[in-house]
Structure 1
Amino acid sequence: MALRACGFIVFRRLASCAPPQDPIEYLLLQTSYGEHHWTPPKGHVDPGEDDLTTAHRETKEEAGLGAEDLQIIEGFLKELRYEVRGRPKEVLYWLAELRDPGAKVTLSSEHQNYRWARLEDACSLAQHKDMQDTLRAAHRYLEAQQDKQ
């Protein structure tokens, strides 16, 4: 049975950006263990917990951002599948906008640093192709939503 984790690709829009500067930045957390990789907030599903509840709980625990801080963007859900130490793992990511772009991020002991980064910088930090593809898919989705308005 695969390990299951859930989280949010958290982004914020900076009102002070003038075109052609992209106003969207993504939140990445740097782990305080292992290879110190960068990832959006996520974590394992607890017994009896539904996936979306896990995403909210883990984002609150890891970044200090609660449900009241986030607006889930309907229609975007990405599932990643990979192996960790020889075991299959599934990770579900929803897309969530930070309601207050200036909200404070508070890290847990699981992470040593965080960064708000525009798409290409976020992809450079993320390093893993599946995470880079997920960030790009989220960005394309947001751009498509913006074009509809």
Structure 2
Amino acid sequence: MPPDFATAICGRAQLQLPQFLTANSQNTWQEGPSWPMPGVNAFLVSALLFILNRTSMSVRACGLIIFRKLQELSSASAIEFLLLQTSYGSHHWTPPKGHVDPGEDDLQTALRETKEESGLDASQFTILEGFRKELNYTANGKPKTVVYWLAEMKDSNAEIKLSSEHKAFRWLSLSEACKLAEFLEMQSTLKEAHQFLCSKV
């Protein structure tokens, strides 16, 4: 990184342009002529920052797969999963989740996002030990990681309070949830969660 790079971004003085395209055969930095910051240099800096943002920044999100038991686990339909429908984009269905904020750990993010998106406080459910699922895929051209925990409702009739980010919610059996969850990764995660619960009987 050139010594004047930060200065150039701030709009001060001049930007030292590299000559590595023609003169640098050893991948080392060589300073070029000084050009005024306005005009071409400002465009080059903006373009470089845009490329760095698109190619190097990954996205991390966390959430909870929330379920309730309608009866003792005597059938597959005894377990229902909570899915929320987004009010934007393709209006897809997912469990409550969201991006990690600075200073948060993954579980803190999952709890905060669940509260914001569904109105459910941590006191209203129990997070089950032994289940943690990490999904890795590409979204909007960027690598994305989503981490889910499994949480059981204490009161199966607790009120769901949606935020403006969602327009509907449903409690669904595994088969119904997989039909609404259009992404294969999400379908697979729901099936793993269901299998985990059935193995605990």
Same fold per superposition (TM over 0.5) = yes
Larger-Rg structure = 2
Q: Give the counterpart letter for 2:70 in structure 1.
A: L
1:86 corresponds to which residue? 141
Query: What is the match of residue 150 of structure 2?
Result: 95
The match for 1:121 among 173, 176, 182 is 176
Question: Over aligned residues, Cα RMSD in angstroms?
Answer: 1.3
Aligned to 1:107: 162
Superposition pairs for residues 23-42 of structure 1, below 5 Å?
23-42=78-97
Residue 18 (structure 1) shift: 8.9
Identity %: 59
TM-score (norm 1): 0.94
Q: Residue 4 of structure 1 is aligned with which of 32, 49, 60?
A: 60
1:7 maps to a residue whose letter is G
Task: Report SS of the residue matched to 1:22.
Answer: helix
3-state SS of 1:127 partner: coil
Paired residues, number? 145
- Give 4+ residue runs of structure 1 displaced > 6 Å after superposition: none
Ranges in structure 1 where 5+ consecutive residues have no aligned partner: none
Q: Which gives a bigger RCO, structure 1 or 2 (Cα 8 Å, sep 6+)?
A: 1
Match of 2:32 in 1: none
Q: 1:60 to 1:23 in 2, by over 3 A?
A: same
Q: Structure 2 CA distance, aligned partners of 1:128 and 1:136?
A: 13
* Cα distance in structure 1, aligned partners of 2:76 and 2:197: 15
**Distance in 1 (alpha carbons) for counterparts of 2:84 and 2:115:** 13
More strand, by proportion = 1
